[in-house]
């Protein structure tokens, strides 16, 4: 899922002619103060944490300032802090507008109808989660003609818009639907969409690009997220690698076996924290790369749990032995292997020749890893 921060989302909004307040993204308190002092962001202004989580308004991550000093202080307070586990690396500074009403609107995919859907509600704002279903208007959209005039009018009615605001909404919906379609989005959400005089302004922007279309949008690849440096390297090498709390490394194949292995280790009091899913690969080069990555994460012990289906146990074992040879002695860790399935006997023989034993019983092997991680048999 490629989620864009509000700042990136609003850049897209501008590109599609959707009005947003004047604003600038800043990575430091100095830059924030400069943006305001130079007039790039008019005062009074809003300072908003650029994180992917929502609920910033309620969580103190949206602040207001009426002088450059206040803007600097607000940016300094938010930058580097953590919001729902995400470190704030950027803030968006934008002009504070006089809101008459806050509305909600989004384009999403309705998976049941297998169609895009437009959702609108006159009750937008930070309490959207508690708005009753009956107060949300839903219209599925036929993608061939795209969003048509009567659907836009119906949306205007549901939002209680009249006069020049109807034309405003018409242009805004046309731009947003084009964005949704052209950029392969699975969600384009504006909450709040603010009525400001006789204009409509998108005060927030949430854009998610469909994963399966991500390859068509290399421009979104550099989007910030919370990958660790090793996870970043893994991603480039197309290895499924996740680092969490915990000191036991797990190398398994397939998400199901990886998760089951995690459960078993937990069951025996272990703390699995580094997960590497070899998937269907038994390419020795890939296994070696994966193993070296695991070594860099410095686990206390590693559990290699492989089921040979399509993947062959002997090739995985061969890759593993090559990998073991390339790990420096200072970086070695206790390893417990369990390989079962296709070409199991050859695999076990290759491992044994390299001094690694395969423990066929799941319970016994899990217990051995947990004991090794504790530093004893
Ligand atoms: P979140 O959805 O994470 O809470 P929002 O961007 O929706 O963050 O901001 C929360 C609230 O802050 C909005 O509902 C709105 O009332 C107010 N707000 C946000 N941006 C502006 C702005 N440019 N001018 C005035 N008020 C704003
Ligand atoms: Mg919002």
Same-domain status, 163 and 236: no
Same-domain status, 341 and 259: yes
157-183 tens-digit pLDDT: 999 999 999 999 999 999 999 999 999
Identify whether 2 is part of a domain: no
Q: Cα–Cα distance between 135 and 122 in angstroms, integer? A: 8
Q: Which atom of ligand 1 is nearest to the CA of 97?
A: 24
Residue numbers of the domain that contains 40: 22-95
**SS3 state at 304:** strand
Residue whose CB lies within 8 A of the most ligand 1 atoms, among 9, 195, 204, 205, for a mutation test: 204
Centroid of ligand 1 to alpha carbon of 263 (angstroms): 41
Q: Which atom of ligand 1 is nearest to the CA of 191?
A: 7
Q: Which atom of ligand 1 is nearest to the CA of 48?
A: 6
pLDDT value at residue 377: 53
CATH code: domain of residue 249: 3.40.50.261
Residue whose CB lies within 8 A of the most ligand 1 atoms, among 4, 46, 60, 189, for a mutation test: 46
Domain edge (last residue) among 199, 219, 239? 219
Same-domain status, 270 and 344: yes
How many domains is the chain partitioned into structurally? Answer: 3
Same-domain status, 288 and 362: yes
Identify whether 264 is part of a domain: yes
Same-domain status, 239 and 367: yes
Domain edge (last residue) among 43, 62, 95? 95
* Residue entry with tokens 């803007």: 71
- Residue 257, token pair as written in the block: 């076996």
214 in Cβ contact with 221 (< 8 Å): yes
* Residue entry with tokens 């397939």: 254
Identify whether 124 is part of a domain: yes
Tens place of pLDDT for every residue, the chain, 377 residues? 789 999 999 999 999 999 999 999 999 999 999 999 999 999 999 999 999 989 999 999 999 999 999 999 999 999 999 998 889 999 999 999 999 999 999 999 999 999 999 999 999 998 888 999 999 999 999 999 999 999 999 999 999 999 999 999 999 999 999 999 999 999 999 999 999 999 999 999 999 999 888 889 888 875 545 677 888 888 888 888 888 889 999 999 888 999 999 999 999 999 999 999 887 777 778 888 888 888 889 999 999 999 988 888 898 888 888 888 888 777 788 899 999 999 999 999 999 998 887 899 999 999 999 999 998 65
Q: Quick check: pTM over 0.75?
A: no
Domain edge (last residue) among 44, 73, 95? 95
Residue 308 backbone dihedrals phi, psi, to 5 degrees: -85, 105
Same-domain status, 205 and 258: no
pLDDT value at residue 225: 59
Q: Which atom of ligand 1 is nearest to the CA of 126?
A: 14
Q: Cα–Cα distance between 19 and 13 in angstroms, integer? A: 7
pLDDT value at residue 224: 46
Same-domain status, 238 and 334: yes
Same-domain status, 91 and 113: no
Same-domain status, 83 and 108: no
Residues near ion ligand 2 (CB < 5 Å) are: 191, 204
For residue 297, give the DSSP letter: T
Identify whether 4 is part of a domain: no
For residue 5, give the DSSP letter: P
- Residue 131, token pair as written in the block: 């708005």
pLDDT value at residue 327: 80
pLDDT value at residue 219: 84
- Residue 98, token pair as written in the block: 């006089």
CATH code: domain of residue 146: 3.30.470.20
Identify whether 15 is part of a domain: no
Same-domain status, 233 and 369: yes
CATH code: domain of residue 45: 3.30.1490.20
Identify whether 327 is part of a domain: yes
Catalytic residue among 189, 231, 289, 344: 189
Same-domain status, 298 and 359: yes
Q: Cα–Cα distance between 99 and 197 in angstroms, integer? A: 8
Residue whose CB lies within 8 A of the most ligand 1 atoms, among 47, 62, 187, for a mutation test: 62
Identify whether 12 is part of a domain: no
Q: Cα–Cα distance between 39 and 160 in angstroms, integer? A: 35
Same-domain status, 188 and 234: no
Peptide bond into 15 cis (omega under 30): no
Q: Which residues line ligand 1 (CB under 6 A)?
A: 21, 46, 48, 54-57, 62, 94, 96-97, 99, 102, 125-126, 191-192, 203-204
Strands (E), the chain: 2-4, 23-26, 45-49, 62-65, 82-83, 86-87, 91-95, 101-110, 115-121, 137-140, 185-196, 199-202, 206-209, 240-243, 248-252, 272-277, 301-308, 335-341
Residue partners of 89: CB distance under 8 A and separation at least 6: 27, 50, 79, 80, 224
Identify whether 368 is part of a domain: yes
């Amino acid at each position: 899922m490629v989620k864009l921060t509000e700042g990136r989302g609003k850049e897209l909004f501008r590109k599609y002619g959707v009005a947003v307040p004047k604003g600038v993204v800043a990575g430091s308190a100095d830059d924030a103060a400069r943006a305001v002092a130079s007039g790039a962001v008019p005062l009074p202004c809003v300072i908003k944490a650029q994180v992917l989580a929502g609920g910033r308004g309620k969580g103190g991550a949206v602040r207001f300032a009426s002088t450059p000093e206040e803007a600097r202080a607000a940016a300094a307070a938010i930058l580097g802090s953590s919001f729902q586990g995400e470190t704030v690396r950027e803030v968006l500074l934008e002009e504070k507008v006089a809101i008459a009403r806050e509305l909600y609107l989004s384009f999403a995919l309705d998976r049941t109808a297998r169609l895009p859907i437009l959702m609108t509600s006159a009750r937008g704002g930070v309490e959207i989660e508690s708005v009753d279903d009956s107060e949300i208007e839903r219209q599925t959209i036929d993608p061939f003609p795209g969003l048509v005039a009567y659907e836009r009018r119906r949306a205007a009615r549901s939002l209680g818009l009249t006069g020049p605001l109807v034309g405003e909404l018409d242009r805004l919906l046309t731009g947003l639907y084009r964005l949704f379609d052209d950029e392969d989005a699975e969600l384009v959400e504006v909450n709040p969409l603010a009525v400001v005089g006789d204009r409509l302004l998108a005060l927030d922007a949430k854009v998610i690009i469909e994963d399966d279309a991500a390859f068509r949008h290399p421009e979104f690849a550099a989007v910030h997220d919370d990958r660790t440096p090793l996870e970043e390297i893994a991603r480039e090498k197309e290895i499924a690698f996740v680092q969490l709390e915990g000191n036991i490394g797990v190398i398994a194949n397939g998400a199901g076996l990886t998760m089951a292995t995690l459960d078993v280790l937990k069951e025996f009091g272990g703390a699995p924290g580094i997960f590497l899913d070899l998937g269907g690969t038994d390419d020795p080069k890939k296994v070696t790369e994966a193993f070296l990555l695991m070594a860099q994460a410095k686990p206390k012990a590693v559990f290699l749990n492989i089921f040979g289906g399509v993947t062959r146990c002997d090739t995985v074992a061969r890759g593993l032995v090559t990998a073991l040879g390339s790990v420096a002695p200072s970086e070695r860790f206790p390893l417990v292997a369990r390989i079962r399935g296709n070409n199991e006997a050859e695999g076990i023989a290759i491992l044994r020749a390299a001094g690694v034993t395969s423990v066929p019983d799941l319970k016994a092997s899990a217990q051995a890893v947990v004991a090794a991680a504790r530093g004893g048999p």
